[in-house]
Structure formats: C-alpha cells, structure tokens
Structure 1
Amino acid sequence: MTDGESGTTGAEPRSDGPRANRDPDELARKRSLLTEPHVAPLADYVTRLRGERGADRVPDFDPTEAGVEAKILLLLEAPGGKATVERGGSGFVSPDNNDGSAENMWRLFQELGVDRRREVVTWNVVPWYIGGDSKIRPAESSDLLEGQRYIEELVGLLPNLRVVVLIGKHAARGWQRLGIDLPTVEVPHPSPQNLNVRPHMRDQLRAGLQHAREIARVVSNGTV
C-alpha cells in the first residue's frame, strides 16, 4: 500500500495527545485488535518469544501501527518497564506509552505527518525486557547476540519492509551483526536526556525519520 491510497492497515490510533496507553480503555481496545490480519502473525511471533524468554518480559506489537504491512521498521534497544504489564506498563511496544521517550516519538510523528497505520512498525533489537524488577540495564553483547535470530525472523514476516531505522547505538550495534541487505538510517535515542537537553539530537532524529520515509517511497516506486 502506497502513500495516498484510501485504504488503511492498522486501526486508528488515538490522536488527541501522547501517552494514550495510560488509559485502561485504550489498552483494552488495543488488546482486542491483536487478532486483526495485519498484526496476527506478529502476535504469534510474540507468543513464541514468550515461551522462550518469559511471559512477563515480552510485550506486544502496537496493533494501531502497520504491522506486517509496514515499510519502515523502527528498532530500539530493548523494551522498557513501561512496555511490560508486570512493571506497571502497557504491555505494548508503542509511541503511545506513558514515558518520556515514547512521548518524544509521538510528537515527532505528529510533526512529520507519519501515518502509523500505513508506514511503521516499532520493535526492539533485544525483544525482551532486560534487567531487574525495578530498573532496566543497558544491552550487552550477549543480549544482542541472543536477539539476532528473533530479528531475522521478524524481518521475514515483513514483506513490504523497505528501510530500518536504528534508534540509538545499541540498536545499531545489534543490527550490524545481522548482515541483512536493507537500507538503514541511524538516529539518536528519543530519551528526554537526549532530546530535551540536546536540541540538535531532536533535529537529527526528525531528519532521520524523514529520510527513512523518503527511502521507503523511492524503493516502493521501484526507482532504486
């Protein structure tokens, strides 16, 4: 599906403000959408991951994104506490989560006019929560190594994928180990520590997201 077509893929995300996933009704709505065709194969992937890595450590994909129809894969480092129900979070990897990094992404999507239902799917290069009950830790080389086969499997589930946005240095390191022949764009992590005190990083992230959209359009049109 290309930009400008009238159809949609994911369900309509709430657009009245960031942090929508703090609303229990919105979370219930999203859970009810996990069997929709655009996200059901990813829900099955999550079920397999939970069986191997722990049901309390692997969140779901956000079904208001494009799912398996996505042209752009956004890869972060690892799920934070606000992505796991067991640590007070939503249970989704989502720019609608109730934390500063998610809010920064939500606002950038709004600024750029990103249609999440058609364009993107968001995940992590280490797809499970790493760390203790109260605090996540940085991804180590062993985590990135263990995550490789799961990311390779995910890429195989995304037939329309055109470009990967590597968000933060750990995501870039993890991807580089794979050797998958896809265009990539490296951007800073959207944490408040980065963007709120370093305005140039916000500019870099915005420019990188826009560049990824341009790559996706060009590749989809068959001119690369």
Structure 2
Amino acid sequence: MLEDEPSVQPLRAFREELLARRTRRHPGAVVPDFDPAEAGVEARALIVLEAPGPMSAGPDGSGFVSVDNDDATAASTWTLRDEVGLHARTLVWNIVPWQLDGAPDADEVRQGAMELRRLLPLLPDLRVVVNAGTAPTSGWKKNIEPYLVDGPTVIDSWSPGQRAMSQPRKRDELKRAFERATHLVG
C-alpha cells in the first residue's frame, strides 16, 4: 500500500506527533494525514491551503489532505495542477493542519504555521511553496519567512475554494502560480 512507502513514513510520523501535541491541549482534535499518493518527503513543491475541510477530516471524509477528496477545493486544485502538469514531486498541506469549525483566527494560523515550520526540514528537496489563500500567505509571512535562511521560492496566490475560483481573474492567477511552480520543480 502507498501508506507503507518509505517517502511517506516520515510524514506519517510527523502527523502522529502533531496530533499528540494538539490533543494534549485540545482533546478530540482531528488532523488528517498526508495523501500517500503525493510526493512525500521527496516533494519539490508544497501547496499550502487554509485548513482541512469536512471531506478530509469529517466523519464522511477520506482522512487525508488530498486533491482526490470530494469537494470543490480539491477539485479546483486537481484541475489546475492537471492543466499545468504540476503532478510529480508535489505535496499539499494546510497552514492550520487540524479541522476547524470555521475560518481560522490569527492565533490558530500562528500555531499552525509553527507546525509547518517543523515540517519543512522533512522536505529537503523543496524548491517552491505556493500559499493558496489569505491565511496561508499571512501565516507564512508572519510566522515562517522570518525564520528561514535560503528557503524555497514562495508564490502567494488565491485559494482554490469555490468562492475565489468562481472569479475568472483569481482562477487565472492561481493557475499562473501553479505554472510557475511547475517550472521551478523542473
């Protein structure tokens, strides 16, 4: 099974440690796993979304942060990646990696960004990060960027969520961000 691939194991361990940290302060926290069909620790591109939706973390969800989930955000992400050929060596994660009841507040974004900082050393080949949305962009700029030296190229863009993708200009801008990431991945 894909979950047993060596490139996935460090991320599964990371997620388990994150879940343990989170549930100490927030019993019942839900943190979906990385999609084992993605690049794992071999990722060169990281797409950072806002937070897990119900189709990744809810009772009917897959249990994974995945472009294969049955929701509009996953569908838009998959479609745009497919249009530009951004498949190989790519990983999707969230600035707030646990399920929320609504939009994240500044403290949740800060806490999530601290977890994302812990993830980055597990991705030694990372060349580009696409922050897809307002929360990922602000979380990166305030809580990750100041601590990086010689980090990956960062591209800020729109969320692949239904509201933003219903606006052709925002969809086109996210597609261009994915195109740029495709070129940087090589």
What's the TM-score, normalizing by structure 1? Answer: 0.75
User: CA separation in 1, counterparts of 2:86 and 2:2?
Assistant: 21
Matches within 5 A, 1:79-158: 79-84=52-57, 86-115=58-87, 118-131=88-101, 137-158=102-123
Query: What is the SS of the residue equivalent to 2:91?
Result: strand
Residue 213 in structure 1 maps to residue 182 in structure 2: yes
Q: Mind listing any 5+ residue stretches in structure 1 that lack a counterpart?
A: 1-31, 132-136, 218-224
Specify whether residues 215 and 114 from structure 1 end up closer, same or farther in structure 2 by C-alpha distance, changes over 3 A only: closer
2:15 corresponds to:
46
C-alpha displacement of 1:40: 0.5
Letter in 2 for 1:79: P
Residue 199 in structure 1 maps to residue 168 in structure 2: yes
User: CA separation in 2, counterparts of 1:212 and 1:57?
Assistant: 30
Query: What is the SS of the residue equivalent to 2:41?
Result: helix
C-alpha displacement of 1:183: 1.2
Q: Mind listing any 5+ residue stretches in structure 2 that lack a counterpart?
A: none
Percent identity, aligned pairs only?
36
1:77-118 CA distance string (max 9 Å, x none): 11111111x432110001110001111111112211222xx3
User: CA separation in 2, counterparts of 1:166 and 1:175?
Assistant: 8
C-alpha displacement of 1:182: 2.5
Query: What is the SS of the residue equivalent to 1:34?
Result: helix
2:159 corresponds to:
189
1:165-220 CA distance string (max 9 Å, x none): 00001000111121223310011111122112x11111111101011122233xxx
Aligned residues: 177
Letter in 1 for 2:113: Q
